[in-house]
Amino acid sequence: MKVLKYLYIITVTTTLLVSCEDYLGDNVDPNKELPENVTEADLLPTAIYRSSSAQYSIALSICQYSQQLASYFEPGADTQEEVQLSGGWSNIYLQALADLGQVVTIAENNGASNYIGVAKILQAFNLGLATDQWGDVPFSTALQGEADFRPSYDTQESVYEQINTLLNEAITSLEAADSSGFTIGEDDLIYGGDISKWIKTAHFLKAKYALHLSEVDQNLAIEGVLNNVDNSFSSNEDDFQLVYNERNFNPWNSGVVLPNNTGNFSVLLSDQLVSLMDGTSIPFAIIELDPRLPLITTIGEGDTEYRGAINGTAGSHELAETEGEDNISANTDLGADNFYSSQSAPIIMGSYSELKFMESEALFLQNGGDATSVGTSADAYNAYLEGIEANMDKLGVLPTDKAAYLSDASIAVGEANLTMALIMREKFIATFLNPESFVDLRRYDFDPAVFIGLELPVGHNEILNGQWVRRAQYPTSEQTRNGEQVEAVTKEIGDPVWWDRD
């Protein structure tokens, strides 16, 4: 695991998805670096930073869709209003993918196969992050500069093919001998140049994107997961994450915690998540509380009860029963000392615990399981338990508390009583603040039998006619810049993406 010790932004003087007006002529911005002077090591740190920033920017809204988060205000993402995720789009297309395309080009000229492999993994990650929110997105004709200022949009089906191709090519490049003399080191802000961990990340992403296609072809999805698990992460030490520090703040800290502390409230934990962790949705047998809950949220001084916000109630925990009665306020904020929102917290883009829940689901389905069936194989059950343990270790749960949770009869149900609801409850907790939570809800059609307690938010967006939101809308900047292409692929926010066979 590489800690973010420093960050420097290299801005390359080149044309990407936007163009300068002709009257600028040959003027060169003195604050920008010319492409011929930039190296792979210059661009890789900024590409990693932008990839992490895209994950955060998208999660801030999308995790309100999935009801991990709720808003202090309504209407908005909290009530499933349209979101454009313009910050995510900018980080992906105008920054990360632009830099990564340059890394690949430079590395190919230098024969630096390690840089090529790492860059293609990051390209696949960013492309997957984009297509899972918007559906059809540009890639095959994008980032060509003056050759194409208005790139066409690839279908999501073809994007998924390109993701898999990028990951396969990345693995081949990373497994090949690199005699270029260019060594990845501190410019790799994630693994510090450990190529073996990047190979594991490629297999993690292959498994993840295979599972996304469980409604397209369940057998192929299962095969895709199980064929990659053994070559992917083997512990929390392999996690695909960017760790921040006291100089470069985690964006949940700078973007949510610090503003909240000055009265500029935005989001807090949803009652849907809290109810899964306090025994409300699935009652515990002996323990009173999931020991992870105090580690991921901060409640008011003197409070003893964790009250998540009901989505669509502007930060309320309960609705008033009679007219004129005050709502009960929620109190589950992201805090400065919490695991995901401290200054030095990581942005987790892929984890060992997530991998184990993916494996558990795949094995559960392979054993003939479905959304409502009970019982599975020993291997599926063990992967479920290992996913819980890994996540608790990641968050720093005390061994005694971990043992108590894992032995509670509501958790330790045995292979004969495992359900998809139990697997998804634990994955939902382990992927807190991760857009993957919204992928899972769509794959199982927001089924309350799988996601216990899930309901449409209060004040639900009327244009959805009682249906769930299923996609983001393209940013206004892209509609203006590339309007004809955007218009051709724009759909309503209630329309499913290609792999979402509701």
* 297-319 confidence digits (pLDDT tens): 999 888 999 999 999 999 999 87
- Among the listed residues 210, 182, 36, the one whose alpha carbon sits nearest the alpha carbon of residue 119: 182
Rounded Cα–Cα distance for residues 170 and 140 (Å)? 17
pLDDT band at 496 (very low <50, low <70, confident <90, very high): very high
What pLDDT, in 10s, does the model give residues 463-477?
Answer: 999 999 999 999 999
> Does pTM top 0.85 for this prediction?
yes
Count CB atoms within 10 A of the CB of residue 215.
17
Rounded Cα–Cα distance for residues 140 and 145 (Å)? 13
What pLDDT, in 10s, does the model give residues 190-214?
Answer: 999 999 999 999 999 999 999 999 9
Tokens of residue 165, six digits: 């191709």
pLDDT band at 1 (very low <50, low <70, confident <90, very high): very low
Portion of the chain with pLDDT greater than 90, in percent: 85
pLDDT of residue 481: 87
- Among the listed residues 82, 69, 200, the one whose alpha carbon sits nearest the alpha carbon of residue 134: 82
pLDDT of residue 24: 34
Cis preceding-peptide flag for 75 (omega within 30 of 0):
yes
Q: What average pLDDT does this structure show over 142-154?
A: 72
Q: What average pLDDT does this structure show over 218-222?
A: 98
Three-class secondary structure of residue 160 per DSSP: helix
Cβ-proximal residues to 85 (8 Å cutoff; 6+ apart), any chain = 57, 58, 61, 62, 133, 134, 472, 475
Count CB atoms within 10 A of the CB of residue 245.
15
Residue extents of the structural domains in the chain: 22-242+461-489
Contact between 369 and 356 under an 8 Å Cβ cutoff? The reply is no
What topology does CATH give the domain 22-242+461-489? 1.25.40
pLDDT band at 23 (very low <50, low <70, confident <90, very high): very low
Half-sphere exposure of 8 (CA within 13 A, CB side): 10
Q: Residue 293: what are its φ and ψ, rounded to 5°?
A: -60, -45
- Among the listed residues 425, 459, 250, 258, the one whose alpha carbon sits nearest the alpha carbon of residue 341: 250
Rounded Cα–Cα distance for residues 53 and 314 (Å)? 26
What pLDDT, in 10s, does the model give residues 356-406?
Answer: 999 999 999 999 999 999 999 999 999 999 999 999 999 999 999 999 999
pLDDT at residue 16 greater than cutoff 50: no
pLDDT of residue 25: 42
DSSP code, position 475: P
Rounded Cα–Cα distance for residues 132 and 379 (Å)? 29
Tokens of residue 221, six digits: 């999805």
The CA R_g of the chain, rounded to the nearest whole Å, is 22
What pLDDT, in 10s, does the model give residues 228-260?
Answer: 999 999 999 999 999 999 899 999 999 999 999
Contact between 474 and 189 under an 8 Å Cβ cutoff? The reply is no
Rounded Cα–Cα distance for residues 489 and 498 (Å)? 12
Q: Residue 298: what are its φ and ψ, rounded to 5°?
A: -120, 125
Cβ-proximal residues to 336 (8 Å cutoff; 6+ apart), any chain = 253, 257, 261, 298, 342, 343
Across the chain, what does the average pLDDT equal? Answer: 91
Count CB atoms within 10 A of the CB of residue 475.
20
